[in-house]
């Protein structure tokens, strides 16, 4: 493999060649990354420090926030560093690592969203059997399956790329190591590999998206038989899930459903599922969720009380 690979450093073209735009993007993405870290950590701590962790929906939300945090951290810090750098480079080994981790945590997020949709389907369509079906053992099994599926997906993407010869050029028109821009740099015909990428990424994302939409259609169909006062909470929860699904899946489908084709808009679409979606997820799941807002208020009020009490005790 080393003999057929002369590229040890890749040059990233980034988002723009205009320095003023890059500085503006740095400020924007710095704010976004702080919001992502703060929002998702806030959700995780509030869930784990309250009774919400006992409920399957919040059990999954805790892992979704963790995957969001890990997923965006594989891309955003490097992006912000490059926005201030004159020459944007990444070593070949770091590029392969980034490729593997982005698909790993992105896959975990996709499958957890599916698990959350299944949880809502059982809660609304089979309420009498909900506690039996969605036991803690079943929830742990679903999380394990999500991680295993994501690992298989990521490993297959990695193996499709790692054995390709890269002899030059080494300029990649993107801001992180993504599959299709990498395939364009390979010194061989990558048409068949591009088709495998569609099967591995595009079709998986498309099938998952269709399954999620069908599950929510069944939920909405079931809600017709419920009393009007029962609709609001269920609809609020499902609406939050649908927003997250659309925000994450639609840009990804626009990129991965086409055979080994790159467009200038791909970098903008990628921003949605690498930065924008992880930033909005905490807001979407908390602003209209009474239980989540109560947990946030309780946990952080108690924390503030203990801190002020300890500070008062130390001063005296």
Which residues lie across from 90 on neighbouring strands? 10
With respect to residue 244, please indicate whether it lies within any of the assigned structural domains. Answer: yes
pLDDT of residue 1: 42
pLDDT tens for 62-104 read 999 999 999 999 999 999 999 998 889 999 999 999 999 999 9
Nearest to 146 by CA among 56, 39, 64, 47: 64
Q: How many domains does the chain have?
A: 1
Residue 143: band (very low, low, confident or very high) from pLDDT cuts 50, 70, 90: very high
Task: Answer whether 124's CB lies under 8 Å from 222's CB.
Answer: yes
pLDDT tens for 176-207 read 998 888 888 888 888 888 888 888 888 888 88
CATH number assigned to the domain comprising residue 60: 1.20.1070.10
CA gyration radius, the chain: 22
Tell me the whole-structure pTM to 2 decimals.
0.86
Residue bearing tokens 């951290």? 73
With respect to residue 301, please indicate whether it lies within any of the assigned structural domains. Answer: no
With respect to residue 153, please indicate whether it lies within any of the assigned structural domains. Answer: yes
Residue 239: band (very low, low, confident or very high) from pLDDT cuts 50, 70, 90: confident
Query: In terms of residue numbers, what domain contains 66?
Result: 9-286
With respect to residue 303, please indicate whether it lies within any of the assigned structural domains. Answer: no
pLDDT tens for 284-293 read 877 667 777 7
């Amino acid at each position: 493999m080393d003999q057929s690979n002369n590229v040890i450093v890749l040059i990233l073209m980034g988002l723009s060649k205009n320095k003023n735009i890059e500085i503006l993007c740095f400020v924007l993405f710095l704010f976004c990354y702080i919001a992502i870290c703060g929002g998702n950590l806030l959700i995780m701590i509030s869930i784990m420090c309250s009774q919400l962790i006992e409920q399957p929906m919040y059990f999954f939300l805790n892992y979704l926030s963790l995957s969001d945090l890990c997923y965006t951290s594989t891309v955003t810090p490097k992006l912000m560093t490059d926005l201030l750098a004159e020459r944007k480079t990444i070593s070949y080994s770091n590029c392969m690592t980034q490729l593997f981790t982005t698909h790993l945590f992105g896959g975990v997020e996709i499958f957890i969203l599916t698990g959350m949709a299944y949880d809502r389907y059982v809660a609304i369509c089979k309420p009498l059997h909900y506690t039996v079906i969605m036991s803690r053992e079943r929830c742990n099994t679903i999380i394990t399956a999500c991680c295993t599926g994501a690992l298989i997906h990521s490993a297959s993407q990695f193996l499709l790329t790692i054995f390709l010869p890269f002899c030059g050029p080494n300029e990649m028109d993107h801001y992180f190591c993504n599959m299709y821009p990498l395939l364009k740099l390979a010194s061989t015909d990558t048409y068949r590999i591009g088709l495998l990428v569609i099967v591995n990424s595009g079709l998986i994302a498309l099938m998952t998206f269709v399954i999620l939409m069908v599950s929510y259609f069944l939920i909405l169909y079931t809600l017709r038989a419920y009393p009007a006062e029962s609709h609001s909470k269920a609809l609020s929860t499902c609406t939050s899930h649908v927003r997250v699904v659309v925000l994450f899946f639609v840009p990804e489908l626009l990129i991965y459903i086409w055979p080994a084709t790159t467009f200038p808009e791909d970098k903008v679409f990628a921003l949605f599922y690498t930065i924008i979606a992880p930033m909005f997820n905490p807001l979407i799941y908390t602003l209209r969720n009474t239980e989540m807002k109560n947990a946030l208020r309780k946990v952080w009020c108690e924390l503030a009380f203990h801190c002020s009490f300890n500070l008062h005790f130390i001063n005296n």
